[in-house]
């Protein structure tokens, strides 16, 4: 199992043998804690988005097939360059200072690096809205992204898995307004379906 907890089991059970496309925001290395890797192995295609340069070659090698698109950027509310708190390439790196401070308080070494961010609007203009599954793991920015998804255009999306960044109630409220219901929850993620 690739997912952090048991998310993969519920995702695969829901989609059964269907084929489709996924969007993975915060793909990291494409395997570790991945909620899309098993879908990729089951002939799905998709878009993987990851800002950390340490992961670029890894993702390009693992997802080299034409059915995958890899974007080496962060996703936010504006097109800009922003400080990224990089914890030696670990999966906890973030654009969110509050999130980064949690790891700094645990004496984790880090560097501040400048990375490109594209807006959610720019992202969907570039990749389209043809997805059945969206995974959001943006280390402190997941709610910001979730609130600003173009839900009216994402008509094919049947499932969203989101790292709720310590606020499961607010996460549920945001997606419920767009017709999604809670399907499964772990201590980090909530899976919603419609």
Per-residue pLDDT of the chain (194 residues; tens, 9 = 90+): 999 999 999 999 999 989 999 999 999 999 999 999 999 999 999 999 999 999 999 999 999 999 999 999 999 999 999 999 999 888 888 999 998 999 888 888 899 999 999 999 999 999 999 999 999 999 999 999 999 999 999 999 999 999 999 999 999 999 999 999 999 999 999 999 99
The CATH number of whichever domain residue 11 belongs to comes to 3.40.50.150
151 falls within a domain: yes
43 falls within a domain: yes
With beta carbons less than 8 A apart as the criterion, state whether 168 and 190 touch. yes
pLDDT given for residue 67 in this prediction: 97
Number of domains the chain contains = 1
With beta carbons less than 8 A apart as the criterion, state whether 26 and 136 touch. yes
Query: Among the residues of 29-106, which ranges form H helices?
Result: 37-41, 56-62, 97-104
Q: 189 is in which domain, residue-wise?
A: 7-79+118-193
Query: Among the residues of 82-183, which ranges form H helices?
Result: 97-104, 120-127, 142-147, 168-176
101 falls within a domain: no
């Amino acid at each position: 199992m690739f997912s952090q907890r048991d998310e993969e089991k519920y995702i695969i059970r829901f989609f059964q043998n269907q084929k489709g496309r996924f969007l993975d925001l915060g793909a990291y290395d494409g395997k570790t804690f991945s909620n899309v890797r098993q879908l990729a192995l089951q002939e799905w295609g998709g878009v993987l988005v990851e800002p950390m340069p340490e992961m670029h070659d890894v993702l390009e090698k693992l997802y080299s097939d034409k059915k995958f698109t890899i974007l080496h950027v962060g996703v936010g509310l504006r097109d800009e360059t922003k400080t990224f708190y990089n914890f030696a390439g670990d999966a906890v790196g973030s654009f969110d200072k509050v999130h980064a401070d949690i790891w700094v308080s645990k004496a984790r070494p880090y560097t501040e690096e400048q990375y490109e961010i594209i807006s959610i609007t720019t992202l969907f203009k570039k990749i389209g809205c043809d997805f059945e599954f969206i995974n959001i793991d943006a280390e402190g920015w997941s709610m910001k992204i979730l609130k600003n998804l173009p839900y009216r255009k994402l008509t094919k999306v049947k499932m969203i898995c989101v790292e709720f960044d310590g606020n499961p109630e607010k996460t549920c409220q945001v997606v419920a307004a767009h017709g999604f219901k809670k399907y499964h929850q772990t201590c980090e993620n909530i899976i919603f379906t419609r």
